[in-house]
Amino acid sequence: LLYSAFTYFTGFKVNSGEYKLMGLAPYGKPSYVSIIKDKLLDIFEDGSIRLNMEYFGYLDGLRMTNEKFAELFGGPPRKPESEITSRETDIAASIQQVTEEIVLKMAKHAREATDEKNICLAGGVALNCVANGKLLKSGIFDNIWIQPAAGDAGGALGAALAVWHQVYNMPRVCADGRDKMKGALLGPEFSDEEIGDFLKNRGYPAVKLSESEWAEKIALLIKQEKVIGLLQGRMEFGPRALGCRSIMGDARSSKMQSVMNLKIKYRESFRPFAPSCLEESVSEYFELNTPSSYMLLVAPVKKSRCIFISENAGISVRERVHQIRSDIPAVTHVDYSARIQTVNKDTNPKYYELIKAFERITGYGVIINTSFNVRGEPIVCTPEDAYKCFMRTEMDYLVLGSWLLDKNEQPEWKEKTDWRRDYVLD
């Protein structure tokens, strides 16, 4: 509720825009931390908190915050879609710092109370990958595992497991340190035959790639700075696309972040993209020595790869987005960090081979990975979903299983309605 109140106040949608607030935080300074801690809440040593309800509208109003809250932060909430100012970036930085303090206190208390060396995290706050990265770096626990659908959606899995174990009395089996979720690839999948029938029935031109040429061909297109939609294998469970319902691009490209934000995803330009990196190579690019299979850890880009820039207080968020900060600029955030997904051959072999082919061609075992959808729209599930998104945006190519579609060869898209009317922008 605390973080969501600030999500609302900075002009983003509650229960879906919290990750935007997290992404905005590095652009600001934590200048409101003392106000938050003095006026809005008490933080106890065990990480529990008590909110001062005089400043919140949860109980007696229809909004997350009230006028007293607005007075603390110099005016009313930012209107959605309006220009982001230094007030919003500083507020974002401040609540992020407070959140990290709470998470670290909770973790320290849990370690002292249990003397356990490993911790599993769930709940919406566990999707705050910046806080997760700070927790990992703190060394409070030796190992951290975060349930990939840590938000409300994970409750469905919990309910199923509760029935499985408590009603049917099925035993709990230890995974011996291995990830039994197997990449969270639990959703539907479509065979090449099913996809081929769909394409043939609709009259959509496509080329079927052989298994031996699939990865190499797609990797070459990424190298040419093409933006590619990918649907292959079972759909991911959770909020992150992990290489089965993804949009891909070249992490080395200085223009790719802006191109993908404004022409493909139709979202705010400040929002960073995540890298998918070969698991065995992650420490070559980032200050990380552990797998991050679910894109739930943030870590710094290796200093040897960074291009450090003197910060100018007068420069706008929009201008800072375009500054090149490393040799993988499209996935390097303004604070020289990245939200990392590591990819291994056992969990997602086709996606792994694609990145491996890109490494053979370019010397870089890392690409851009973002969810296959536009802003406000669910992640695509079916070939039809993927084709619609492909044609509604400025993506260059679409991969459906073994089938490759070139935008230039597709029939004219006759749907003239604005897709943004179909979905509420997040």
Q: Write down the pLDDT at residue 311.
A: 74
Supply the range of the domain harboring residue 7.
Answer: 2-116
pLDDT at 355 over 80: yes
Give the pLDDT mean for 235-261: 94
> Are 255 and 341 part of one and the same domain?
yes
Q: How confident is the model at residue 313 (pLDDT cuts 50, 70, 90)?
A: low
Q: What is the CATH number of the domain that holds 75?
A: 3.30.420.40
Residue 401 vs residues 84, 353, 406: alpha-carbon distances, Å: 40, 14, 14
Residue that is last in its domain, among 81, 116, 151: 116
Report the pLDDT value the prediction gives residue 384, as an integer from 0 to 100.
98
The verdict on pTM exceeding 0.85 is yes
* Within a domain: 169: no
Give the whole-angstrom CA distance, residue 260 versus residue 399. Answer: 17
The three-state secondary structure class of 397 is: strand
pLDDT over 70, % of the chain? 96
DSSP per residue over 153-220, as a string?
THHHHHHHHHIIIIIS-PPP---TTS-TTGGGB-S----HHHHHHHHHHHT---EEPPHHHHHHHHHH
Residue from 376, 395, 415 nearest 231 by CA: 395
Is the separation of the CB atoms in 142 and 116 below 8 Å?
no
Final residue of a structural domain among 84, 116, 148: 116
The answer to whether residue 10 is domain-embedded is yes
Whether 319 maps to a domain, the answer reads yes
Q: Look at residue 320 and tell me if it is in a domain.
A: yes
Exposure string over 324-335, b if 16+ CB within 10 A, otherwise e: ebbbbbbbbbbb
Domain with 368 in it: what CATH number?
3.90.870.20
Q: Identify whether 148 is part of a domain.
A: no
Q: What pLDDT, on a 0 to 100 scale, did the predictor assign at position 420?
A: 56
CA dist., res. 287 & res. 303, Å (int): 9
pLDDT at 173: 84
Please check the confidence at residue 314 and state whether its pLDDT lies above 90: no
Where do we find the tokens 């639990």? 186
Residue 112 lies in a domain: yes
Continuous H helices in 227-279? 256-259
What pLDDT, in 10s, does the model give residues 137-149? 999 999 999 999 9
92-125: pLDDT as tens digits: 999 999 999 999 999 999 999 999 999 999 999 9
Burial of 43-75, coded b for 16+ CB within 10 Å and e otherwise, reads: eeeebebeeeeebbbeeeeeebbbeebeeebee
Query: Would 187 be classed as within a structural domain?
Result: no
How high is the mean pLDDT of the chain?
Answer: 93
399: region left, alpha or beta (phi > 0 left; psi from -120 to 50 alpha): beta
